[in-house]
Structure 1
Amino acid sequence: MMDNSVLKRIGQRVRDLRKERNLSQEQLGELAGVHFSYIGGLERGQKNISLLNLDKIAQSLDVPLSELFLYGRHLKRTIKSGKEELINEIHESLMSLNESDLKKLQRLIEELFTK
C-alpha cells in the first residue's frame, strides 16, 4: 500500500494557502484550469497530482512551486501552546536531516528516554 502522507501534507498546504487568499475551491480551480472537485481531492490527499498541475496551482496562488513543499514551516498559524510551537520547530529541523542522521538521532533519543 502506498504511503500518501506527502499527498496529505501538500494538500493541506494548498488548502492553507487558498484560505489565506480567501479563495474557494471553485475559484482556485478556475484560476488553475482544473475542476473544483480536483482541488477538493487534492486538499484531502486523495489525488496524486502531476507536477504540471501543481505548478498551475502554485501560479494561481501566486507562490513559487517550492512554497507548496514547505508544509513543515507553515503549519497553521493558530498555534495555541508553546509545546505545539516547539514541536513545529523540531519538525522543521528534522526535515532537513538525511536518513543517516535521523537514525543517529533516533538512537540518541532512545538512549536518553528509555532508561
Structure 2
Amino acid sequence: MTDKEILLRIGARLRDLRKEKGLTQEALGEKGGFHFSYIGQIERGEKNVALLNLAKIAEALEVDISQLFTYTSVGSNEESEADLQEIMHMLEQQNPQQIAMAKNVLKAIFNNK
C-alpha cells in the first residue's frame, strides 16, 4: 500500500465516522480544536496527520482511535458494516464476563471450537 493510499483510507474512514455522528467538518473541527479546512484536508488525503491529532479527532468523534484504522473493503456491504459497528458498540458497553459469554455464543453458532 502506498503512502497516498494510506492517507486516502484514513481520510475516508474519518469522513464515514464523522457522517455517522451527524457532524459537519466545522463541528468536528470545533470539538477537536482544529480548523474545518484541516479536517477536510485529512479527509481528502492531503495531510499526513500526526498520531496525537488523530487521537484528538477520535476523542471528538467519541470513538476509540483504533476505529480510525478499521478500513472497509471497496465494494463491501454497507449494511453488514453497520451491523458490525452496532455489535462492537454493544460489546464496548459490557463487562469482560459478558464479552466472554458473547464470544462463546458466537463460537457455538458458527461451530468453532
**TM-score of the pair, normalised by structure 2:** 0.63
Mapping of residues 10-21 of structure 1, within 5 Å:
10-21=10-21
Alpha-carbon distance, 1:72 to partner: 2.7
**TM-score of the pair, normalised by structure 1:** 0.62
Alpha-carbon distance, 1:76 to partner: 6.9
Q: After TM superposition, where is structure 1 displaced by more than 2 Å over at least 4 residues in a row?
A: 72-76
Q: Over the residues paired in the alignment, what is the CA RMSD in angstroms?
A: 2.4
Aligned residues: 79
Report the counterpart of residue 77 of structure 1 in structure 2.
Answer: 78
Q: Report SS of the residue matched to 2:66.
A: helix
Gapped regions of structure 1 (runs ≥ 5):
80-84, 86-115
Q: Deviations over 1:40-67 (max 9, x none)?
A: 0000000000001000000011110001
Q: Report SS of the residue matched to 2:78.
A: coil
Q: Report SS of the residue matched to 1:4.
A: helix
User: What is the rounded CA distance, in whole Å, between the counterparts of 1:12 and 1:62 in structure 2?
Assistant: 17
